[in-house]
Structure 1
Amino acid sequence: MTTLIAEPTATVAIDRVAQTKPHVTLRETFSQIMTMAWRATKKMRRNPEQFFDVTVQPLLFTAMFAYIFGGAISGDVQSYLPLIIPGILAQTALTSSMATGVQLREDMDKGVFDRFKSLPIARIAPLAGPMVADLLRYALATTLTFVMGFIMGYRPGGGVLGVLAGGLLVVITGWSLAWVFTWVGTIARSAQSVQGISMMIMFPLTFLSNAFVPVSSLPGWLAAFVKVNPVSHVVTAVRDLANTGTVTGQVGWALVGCAAMVAIFAPLSLRSYQRKM
């Protein structure tokens, strides 16, 4: 007499299929993003040189620009600090977020993301995780820039709340800009090309803005571009918050610009990443 075992085996197979989930839940996605953020944080701790652009650069640029251009533009360094400190903050946010795309491309070239592809995780987790960890870098750069300004004699009229609000806006801006460079990292062929493309984006946006000089000192054709430059809106918003403690329309425009960058470049980054992987 023969015993059939095909039926229990089929039942087990059906049960396993029923237990599989067609997609990752929102809660699981958040948990995976934080896990990737923790991985990026550990990587930063093991490679302290990754903090050079957010530790040495703000201190160096603040002192260098203030003492070189302060007398020529504002008459003295003390009068120039309320103008230059928000500009240095915007520049630091740009350069810090630029490193996100470079590091992403390096991980992709090393094959790290090939392992992520085989895991049952949300596709956005490997992209968003490091960006969450980079919030620490933006906060560190913002804090050091303000501290350097205080040492040099900067006394913001907005008080503690104004400084905190301005610093928070800089962190939000850096995180939003990071999506632009993340997209560049997914479409470029090497880390060197990511850095080159990012520098071409960073320099015009930073230096063709009101970060270092008043708009009134520029020729008309250049002033027209500076006024529509999104970096100029961020710089003006930070000045309003830190120097006077007022929430002006520039703050709203800066936040709208940040939201637009995330809405545009986050889906582009994810789509490009999925095509490459």
Structure 2
Amino acid sequence: MTTTTTLTPGEPTVTARTLAGARDLPTRPSVRETVSQSLALAWRALLKMRRNPEQLVDVTFQPLLFTAMFAYIFGGAISGSVSDYLPLLIPGILAQTALTACMATGIQLREDMDKGVFDRFKSLPIARIAPLVGPAVADLVRYGTAATLTILAGLAMGYRPAGGLLGVVAGWLLTLVAGWSLAWIFTWLGTVARSAQAVQGISMMVMFPLTFLSNAFVPADTLPGWLQAFVRFNPVSHVVTAVRDLLNSGAVTGDVGWALLGCALVVAVFGTLSVRTYSRKM
């Protein structure tokens, strides 16, 4: 038996069968739908990059500038010559440019939230994580651009990676994985900070210790003992060492495993925090 309730003239009738059907509707998107929605939002982010090419300035000019600047300023003092310093420097610049590039993820996220873009996403039947994963996937293009230009700049200056093509590709891929993983730290900052300027300021405070208090530019054993302990604990140091092993010898060492494990832990912790904070605010 079907009961019918008429609300007011002109409004549609609602039946008990209709209400029962509504209760049976899925409340959460499936994994396949979540992936599809995330890719759609990644495409949106890529279109924004195409229409605003200035978003790629930091990943096009900065790798070239930093590679040349650090090599010619510190090469002779640290390794005796620029050519001897490049095997130490290039993996460090790869990590630095990836970390600098992923800072923009949190800043852009905060700007979109302030402009009300995410209010529109909230009204759509999409997975809560999709608006966060989409831009993060699109930013892989930025990390790839920065890593490619860094390697090309090193080759132009005389760097010859002994790991060969496979080692270079493996190091390039590890850089992308590390950049994507560390971006979740800045994504979380984008969900908790009150403005894009605040995200940028806090991100700089996070980036500089992680980058410069690592083995990216100098051997760790030349540092004071107390600083060596921090450098060895620093996840960026593990990424730099792993990329260094891949580029300079083509060896898949234990540091590669530690770097991947560290990346997985960062995603697990800060990815979860980002989704929770975003869901509370939206």
Q: TM-score range by the shorter chain?
A: over 0.9
Is 1:38 equivalent to 2:36 in the alignment? no
1:216-273 alpha-carbon deviations (Å, 9 max, x no partner):
2212221221121111111010000000000111111100100000110111000000
1:174-195 alpha-carbon deviations (Å, 9 max, x no partner):
0000111000000000000000
Tell whether the 8 Å contact from 2:5 to 2:15 is kept in structure 1 after alignment: yes
Query: 1:227 maps to which residue?
Result: 232
2: CA distance, partners of 1:173 / 1:250:
13
More helix by share: 1
2: CA distance, partners of 1:68 / 1:161:
30
Is 1:75 equivalent to 2:65 in the alignment? no
Structure 1 residues 253 and 192, CA gap change in structure 2 (3 angstroms): same
Is 1:62 equivalent to 2:67 in the alignment? yes
1:104-128 alpha-carbon deviations (Å, 9 max, x no partner):
0000000000000000000000000
2: CA distance, partners of 1:272 / 1:101:
13
Q: Find the partner of 2:195 among 190, 195, 201.
A: 190
% of aligned pairs identical?
70
2: CA distance, partners of 1:192 / 1:20:
41
Structure 1 residues 9 and 117, CA gap change in structure 2 (3 angstroms): closer
Root-mean-square deviation (CA, aligned residues, Å) is 1.5
Is 1:173 equivalent to 2:175 in the alignment? no
Query: 2:110 maps to which residue?
Result: 105
1: CA distance, partners of 2:4 / 2:270:
54
Query: 1:237 maps to which residue?
Result: 242
Alignment gaps of 5+ in structure 1 = none
Is 1:126 equivalent to 2:116 in the alignment? no
1:74-108 alpha-carbon deviations (Å, 9 max, x no partner):
11100000000000000011111111000000000
Letter of the 1:111 counterpart: G
2: CA distance, partners of 1:5 / 1:270:
41
Give the TM-score taking structure 1 as reference length: 0.95
Letter of the 1:243 counterpart: N
Query: 2:140 maps to which residue?
Result: 135
1:45-100 alpha-carbon deviations (Å, 9 max, x no partner):
01111101111100110000000000111111000000000000000111111110
2: CA distance, partners of 1:90 / 1:269:
23
Query: 1:86 maps to which residue?
Result: 91
Alignment gaps of 5+ in structure 2 = 7-12
2: CA distance, partners of 1:9 / 1:220:
74
**Deviation larger for 22-31 or 250-259:** 22-31
Query: 2:10 maps to which residue?
Result: none
2: CA distance, partners of 1:56 / 1:129:
25
1: CA distance, partners of 2:238 / 2:117:
38
**Secondary structure, in 3 states, of the residue corresponding to 1:247?**
coil
Structure 1 residues 221 and 268, CA gap change in structure 2 (3 angstroms): same
What displacement does 1:15 show?
Answer: 6.4
Letter of the 2:279 counterpart: Q
Tell whether the 8 Å contact from 2:4 to 2:16 is kept in structure 1 after alignment: no
Is 1:160 equivalent to 2:153 in the alignment? no
Give the TM-score taking structure 2 as reference length: 0.94
1:167-212 alpha-carbon deviations (Å, 9 max, x no partner):
1000000000011100000000000000010000000110011100
Structure 1 residues 117 and 164, CA gap change in structure 2 (3 angstroms): same
2: CA distance, partners of 1:216 / 1:229:
14
